[in-house]
Structure 1
Amino acid sequence: MTAGGRTIATICARGGSKGLPGKNIRPFSGRPLIAHTIAHALACPGIEGVYVSTDDEGIAAVAREAGATVPYRRPADLATDQAGKLPVIEHLVAHLEGQGLEVARIVDLQPTSPLREPSDIAAALGLAATAGEADLVVSVRAAGDNPYFNLVEQGADGLVHLSKGNGSARRQDTPAVYALNGSIYVWRRPALAHAAVHGLWSVRIAAYPMARWKSVDIDDLEDFEYAQWLHARHAAAGRP
């Protein structure tokens, strides 16, 4: 147990996906999509409980069958397209604390990221334990585009210019840049409460880089089919 309380995993899965209806329980490599993320959390020794927040009874049933705890049905006002994710996580953690659970760290896992591995979660937790002043560790991937090299913005005159820098640098000389992949967020408990009110970028953040192939976030059918192809390809190569 982490000093001051438990390390738990939270998984937020809404039933009303528009990009790919029913995606959270759509069969992916032999089991419902969300079951992969639950399995990742259960396989990580540093996690002491896996909790799912959902408004959908079908998702809840699948989550329980996969080994997660679903403590309640998510309130309707936190299950709309406009509802932010941080208040949803905070609502779940506060509910658990109201039931007597002492929480020190929260590992929020996106159910639409089935290609991460338990080792990624463990590594992110390890970074959180050694990241000094960081309140949050987020998983990232190397970005394909770079604001110092080939990302441009349109000005008021309609012309474009580089987002950063003066364009004189070679690509290999520019700073490394990353994209959030949404897969893993490791929160200190007080930081989550603060960010639920003031936003993600109001806390101090460290990055855990993940391989690009593990970073697919499923939003639509094309993403789903690509993730299935990647999963099969890497499984054939001997990876989980």
Structure 2
Amino acid sequence: MATLTLIPAKGCSTRLPRKNILPLGGKPLLAWAAEAARRAGVCGRIIISTEDEAVAAVAREYGIDVPFLRPAELGCDPAGVVQVALHALQTLRTQGEEYKRMIILLPTSPFRTASDIAEAVALFDTKQAKFLLSVSAFDHTPFAAMKLEDGVVSPWFPEYFGRKSQEMPSAFRPNGAIHVLDVAAFEAAGSYFGQPLYAYEMPWPRSLDIDTVADLQMAEAVLAAGLVSWPV
């Protein structure tokens, strides 16, 4: 199956400027994604999509293909990963390239492993899926959430109020590490949340997502503690 692996790496990040090229363990975040993709052995063509020449230069320094620079409007909100991925497919199509499967790896999930990618793709194939994403369990169950109104708190889910966490339903969140998509289904839906949406479960810290300075500091602490290592 012709596979395109996309690493979206915009330069226009609001909370953590140019976060996709910030160093972690001596390597820029986008290099972590590319290395895992190469080692997975299932990723086909691996490319970076960015609107930022500085990001593109770092990607090329690490041997990552940057076949185009996307339009500036796809580098800032409200444009999201879906629009970036559709643009990549359409741009490469004009260059005579067609793909049946797409893998999306966000640089901000540096601790996903090559095995995670290979196992997610294997699950995608086994299920004959059209849409698959990686998930992780919530650190704190959302069913214990409280709402605050006029200084008064009350439970969002009264039926679970006062219960122990182990008595509440399991809950998972998308962690942004891996999307595997059937290209035709993805383009038709215009979303990577099409149904049925299969899940590949990942534990902490492999599901750590970097969006703030505190997240980056946490990732460095994880490395220093030896909980993960380079290469992933």
Give the TM-score normalised by structure 1.
Answer: 0.86
Equivalent of 1:48 in 44, 47, 60: 44
Q: Structure 1 residue 8: deviation in Å?
A: 1.8
- Does the alignment pair 1:207 with 2:191? no
Deviation at 1:15, TM superposition (A): 0.6
Structure 1 partner of 2:79: 83
Question: Does structure 1 retain, via aligned residues, the 8 Å contact 2:10–2:18?
Answer: no
Change (3 A) 1:226 1:76: same
Q: Provide the residue aligned with 1:171 in structure 2.
A: 165
Unaligned runs of 5+ in 2: none
TM superposition score normalised by structure 2: 0.89
The DSSP-based 3-state class of the residue aligned with 1:119 is helix
Residue 222 of structure 1 and its aligned partner are, at CA, apart by 0.9
Q: Give 5+ residue unaligned stretches, structure 1.
A: none
In structure 1, the residue matched to 2:69 is 73
Q: What does residue 123 of structure 2 align with?
A: 127
Q: Following the alignment from structure 2 to structure 1, what is the Cα–Cα distance between the partners of residues 82 and 29?
A: 22
User: RMSD over aligned Cα, in angstroms?
Assistant: 2.5
State the Cα distance separating 1:175 from its structure 2 match: 2.4
Map of 1:139-218 to 2, 5 A cutoff? 139-148=134-143, 150-153=144-147, 160-163=154-157, 165-167=159-161, 170-196=164-190, 199-218=191-210
Within 5 Å, which residues of 2 pair with 1:107-118?
107-118=103-114
Match status 1:94 vs 2:95: no
C-alpha separation between the residues in 1 aligned to 2:70 and 2:196? 29
- Cα displacement string for residues 106-125 of structure 1 (whole angstroms, at most 9, x for unaligned residues): 11000111111111111110
The 2-side partners of 1:226 and 1:36 are apart by: 16
Report the counterpart of residue 219 of structure 1 in structure 2: 211
Kept after mapping to 1: 8 A contact 2:132/2:199: yes
* Corresponding residue to 2:34 among 31, 38, 63: 38
Distance (whole Å) between structure 1 residues aligned to residue 187 and residue 229 of structure 2: 42
1:136 CA drift (Å)? 1.2
- Work out the percentage of aligned pairs sharing the same amino acid: 34
**Residues 32-90 of structure 1 deviation map (CA, whole Å, 9 limit, x = unaligned):** 22111111111111111101110111111111222221111111221222112201101
| AA at the equivalent of 2:21 | I
1:20-35 aligned within 5 A: 20-35=16-31
Q: Which residue identity does 2:188 align to in structure 1?
A: H
Shift of 1:200: 4.0
Displacement, 1:31? Answer: 1.8
Residue in structure 2 matching 1:231, options 218, 223, 226: 223
Partners of 1:98 and 1:22 lie apart in 2 by 29
